[in-house]
Amino acid sequence: MTLLVHLGGIDENEWAEAFRAKMPNQKIVTSSDKFDPADITYLYVWKPRDDVFDGLVNLEAILSLGAGVDPILKHPHLPTGVPITRFVDETLTQCMSDYVIANVAMHHRELTHYRQDQRAHHWTQYYPAPAGDIAVGVMGMGQLGEDAAKKLSMIGYQVNGWSRSKKELDGVHSFAGTEQLDDFLRHTDILVNLLPLTAETQNILCRATFEKLRREVLPHGPVVINAARGGHQDEDDIVACLNDGTLGAASLDVFKTEPLPKDSPLWDLENCYITPHIAAISSFEGGVNLVAEQIGRFERGEQLKHIVDPAQGY
Ligand code: NDP
Ligand code: OXD
């Protein structure tokens, strides 16, 4: 029973050390160690490389470091029949809600424009509408979207949620399925994306979507906040829509190519707020505890938690 730590772009040794401290009896190797692939039973993975599954003939479970599992599910050599679990964690959820609330409030309260005015030494008073006049639409009402939606509602925003299945949540108006997407968008001033990246949701943040958002309430036009995946956004459309006023502003935490290439026009747009995929980071503590719990469950013959449905893509 061996755990292989395979983390693209992340220090595997730090994680391996943390796993060893938590599970002293568990054999743990990193992708740069020498090991017999046939010994590997558990794979802890982020941004899998092409050869990740080579020789893993005794793999029992794939444990994702991330909440999003799109790079695992689209891997060309993903073995069938091996359960895949994803990261679900209270602190991650809290951090994502923090990011969403900060960005919603920043746009709603025009801090964006005060910043520009400050640079120009301009004293101009704006009178933002109260939160209760602003409708925030959250796409994806799962672990992360639901928490953000509830907290936005508690602050006083009108909140709409869009998901595949209908939700019953106090203070949140639920829209479900493609047939209700346009209605959801028409009732939204600030669009927050927390969808998983699947065949259905790819490029959903495009001009056709932005043109349906409500234009009457925010003085500079509707806003989009994407904290899910770069694959959700058509970046040419975002640039064009930020330039022609279809969108008043955007906050983007994720990009089609990460790090965002130096020559991307998004960097230089005054109304585009870029963060480097940090909306919510999986913590050592949370990741290590969850993996230890999952391995314990598996070895006791219990059901794993947070299992992904590969057919649905999340
Ligand atoms: P969940 O799987 O818990 O929730 C997914 C939600 O999206 C569900 O409500 C689901 O609907 C809905 N959904 C899925 N497909 C569709 C569709 N075709 N149409 C409408 N709704 C759909 O995911 P999480 O909330 O845990 O995470 C969401 C994403 O956030 C992750 O996949 C990841 O990409 C991203 N993320 C980004 C981070 C960052 O730092 N930027 C950090 C962590 C996550 P239903 O409820 O009906 O099933
Ligand atoms: C995740 C992420 O999916 O950090 O957890 O993007």
Condensed to tens digits (0 to 9), the pLDDT of residues 68-120 reads 999 999 999 999 999 999 999 999 999 999 999 999 999 999 999 999 999 99
C-alpha span between 29 and 24 (Å, rounded): 13
pLDDT confidence band for 145 (50 / 70 / 90): very high
C-alpha span between 68 and 144 (Å, rounded): 11
Q: Is 49 a catalytic residue?
A: no
Whether residue 82 contacts residue 72, with contact meaning beta carbons closer than 8 Å, is answered with no
Sheet holding 40-46, edge to edge: 27-30, 2-7, 40-46, 61-64, 84-85
Whether residue 286 contacts residue 92, with contact meaning beta carbons closer than 8 Å, is answered with yes
- 153 and 20 in one domain? no
- 210 and 167 in one domain? yes
- 240 and 129 in one domain? yes
- 129 and 213 in one domain? yes
Tens digit of each residue's pLDDT (9 = 90 or more) over 163-179: 999 999 999 999 999 99
Q: Is 277 a catalytic residue?
A: yes
**Model pLDDT, residue 282:** 85
Supply the pTM of this predicted model: 0.98
Region of 100 (left: φ > 0; alpha: ψ -120 to 50; beta: rest) is: alpha
C-alpha span between 96 and 104 (Å, rounded): 12
Whether residue 139 contacts residue 194, with contact meaning beta carbons closer than 8 Å, is answered with yes
C-alpha span between 77 and 125 (Å, rounded): 58
Whether the per-residue pLDDT at 264 is higher than 90: the answer is yes
Domain span including residue 9: 2-89+282-299
Lining residues, ligand 2, CB within 6 Å: 66-68, 87, 282
Tens digit of each residue's pLDDT (9 = 90 or more) over 169-211: 999 999 999 999 999 999 999 999 999 999 999 999 999 999 9
Whether residue 113 contacts residue 169, with contact meaning beta carbons closer than 8 Å, is answered with no
- 232 and 105 in one domain? yes
Give me the CATH number covering residue 113. 3.40.50.720
What is the mean pLDDT of the segment spanning 250-279?
98
Overall number of domains in the chain: 2
Measured from the alpha carbon of residue 231, the closest ligand is 1
Tens digit of each residue's pLDDT (9 = 90 or more) over 31-65: 999 999 999 999 999 999 999 999 999 999 999 99
Query: Does the beta carbon of 140 lie inside 6 Å of ligand 1?
Result: yes
**Nearest Cα residue to atom 2 of ligand 2:** 66
- 141 and 77 in one domain? no
Structure tokens at 133: 């006049």
**Model pLDDT, residue 291:** 98
What is the mean pLDDT of the segment spanning 16-26?
97
Q: Residue 188: which residues within 8 A CB-CB, separation 6 or more?
A: 135, 136, 137, 160, 213, 214, 222
- 197 and 124 in one domain? yes
Q: Residue 48: which residues within 8 A CB-CB, separation 6 or more?
A: 6, 8, 71, 72, 75
Mark which of 274, 290, 309 sits at the end of a domain: 274
- 269 and 218 in one domain? yes
Residue 309 lies in a domain: no
- 199 and 293 in one domain? no
- 229 and 112 in one domain? yes
